[in-house]
């Protein structure tokens, strides 16, 4: 059997090179009468090496929280490419996983195949879904378009040039949840504002700080003074451009203000660590809902300073503008109450 990138059991590194698919697995012997039932196993397969990626690390934190609550063991497999993603999903099943969690859109073909072959295993895809998921496939998705609207409103409220923009990793429907909602939020505040969108593209659209920086510098040279960056690892390049060119920027997924506190205004965050335990609770309770959505109303998305218990520690520049924060709080209430309706760019006519 091929080796896998990395295998962890219970949060500790068990094998740096997995030669057989049974390493760290429980005994396969049939339990005799009176034996204690086998402890459940929850597996997490990341789309790429976690490293210091806080978004992927939240996946591990979420699965460990769920496992602790339900008395399960955990298995974490880090992938490197499409081949190891598929291998790692199958390795998790071979290890005896009762539930397999994957994070991201990279598993759109892998999970349906595995789910069909293993109907007794539950699968949870977080941050994306598949069309017509099988009964044992569940999705935990975020309403990024709600927090994107708030960031757009903040950008328009703060802009001095009347020109704001978005740097996205790749022109795909999913990322239009960032770009289009940002534009809607900006125009809600300033209907005549100019909005630019550029895509990183290239061979590594989600991991190319150099190209992302180039796009940001070009946008800033054209007059944009507040730029949302949805370029994954490319965000670091946008932050460098902001410090060099003097514009302000917004991050995504987690609090990125400490990475460049002089230029990062706020962040549209996704609480993966909250969503995973809640989704697993629902699955184990027998939910028939294939898609579980998390937005402003249930704490799945938000802004750092509006959701933190200690916003002053966030290092976000928006704290310099309390009047804008007050306005954003009002928009949150209006969105949650349904007074402001924000369409999902991925499903404009409904799911």
pLDDT at 238: 98
pLDDT tens figures, 36-94: 568 999 999 999 998 878 889 999 999 999 999 999 999 999 999 999 999 999 999 99
pLDDT band at 264 (very low <50, low <70, confident <90, very high): very high
Is the Cβ–Cβ distance between 153 and 188 less than 8 Å? yes
Is the Cβ–Cβ distance between 39 and 26 less than 8 Å? yes
CA distance 137 to 161: 47
Q: Is 171 exposed, middle or buried (0-12, 13-18, 19+ CB in 10 A)?
A: middle
The pTM (predicted TM-score) of the whole model is: 0.83
Diameter of the chain by CA atoms? 75
Domain 6-26+38-142: CATH superfamily, name plus number:
Response regulator (3.40.50.2300)
Task: Say which residues have a Cβ less than 8 Å from residue 281's Cβ, sequence separation at least 6.
Answer: 66, 69
Degrees to nearest 5, angle at CA 15 with 13 and 19: 160
User: Phi and psi (nearest 5°) for 117?
Assistant: -75, -25
pLDDT at 16: 28
Q: Does domain 147-269+302-337 have CATH number 3.40.50.2300?
A: yes
pLDDT over 70 (residue 11): no
Of the listed ranges 29-33, 61-65, 205-209, 223-227, the least confidently predicted one is 29-33
Report the run of H or E that residue 347 belongs to, with start and end. Answer: none
CA dihedral 268→270→274→280, nearest 10 degrees, is 160
What residue segments make up the domains of the chain, in order of their start?
A: 6-26+38-142, 147-269+302-337
pLDDT over 80 (residue 157): yes
> What is the mean predicted confidence (pLDDT) over 302-311?
95
pLDDT at 344: 94
């Amino acid at each position: 059997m091929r080796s896998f990138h990395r295998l962890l059991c219970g949060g500790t590194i068990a094998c740096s090179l997995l030669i057989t698919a049974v390493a760290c697995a429980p005994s396969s012997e049939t339990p005799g009468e009176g034996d204690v039932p086998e402890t459940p196993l929850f597996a997490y397969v990341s789309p790429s090496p976690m490293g210091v990626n806080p978004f992927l690390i939240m996946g591990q934190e979420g699965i460990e929280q769920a496992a602790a609550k339900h008395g399960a063991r955990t298995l974490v497999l880090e992938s490197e490419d499409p081949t190891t993603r598929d291998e790692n999903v199958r390795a998790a099943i071979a290890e005896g996983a009762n539930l397999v969690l994957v994070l991201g859109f990279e598993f759109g073909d892998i999970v349906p195949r595995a789910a069909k072959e293993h109907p007794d295993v539950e699968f949870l895809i977080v941050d994306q879904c598949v069309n017509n998921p099988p009964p044992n496939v569940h999705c935990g998705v975020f309403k990024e378009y709600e927090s994107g609207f708030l960031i757009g409103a903040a950008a328009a409220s703060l802009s001095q040039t009347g020109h704001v923009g978005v740097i996205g990793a790749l022109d795909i429907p999913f990322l239009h949840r960032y770009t289009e909602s940002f534009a809607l939020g900006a125009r809600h505040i300033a209907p005549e504002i100019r909005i630019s969108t550029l895509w990183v593209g290239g061979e590594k659209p989600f991991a190319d700080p150099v190209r992302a920086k180039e796009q940001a510098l070009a946008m800033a040279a054209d007059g944009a003074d507040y730029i949302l960056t949805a370029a994954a690892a490319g965000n670091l390049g946008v932050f460098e451009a902001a410090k060099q060119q003097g514009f302000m920027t917004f991050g995504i997924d987690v609090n990125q203000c400490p990475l460049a506190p002089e230029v990062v205004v706020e962040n549209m965050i996704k609480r993966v660590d909250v969503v995973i335990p809640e989704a697993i609770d629902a699955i184990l309770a027998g939910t028939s809902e294939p898609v579980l959505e998390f937005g402003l109303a249930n704490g799945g998305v938000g802004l750092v300073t509006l959701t933190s218990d200690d916003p002053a520690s966030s290092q976000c520049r928006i704290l310099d503008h309390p009047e804008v924060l007050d306005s954003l709080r009002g928009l949150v209430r209006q969105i949650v109450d349904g007074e402001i309706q924000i369409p999902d760019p991925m499903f404009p006519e409904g799911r």
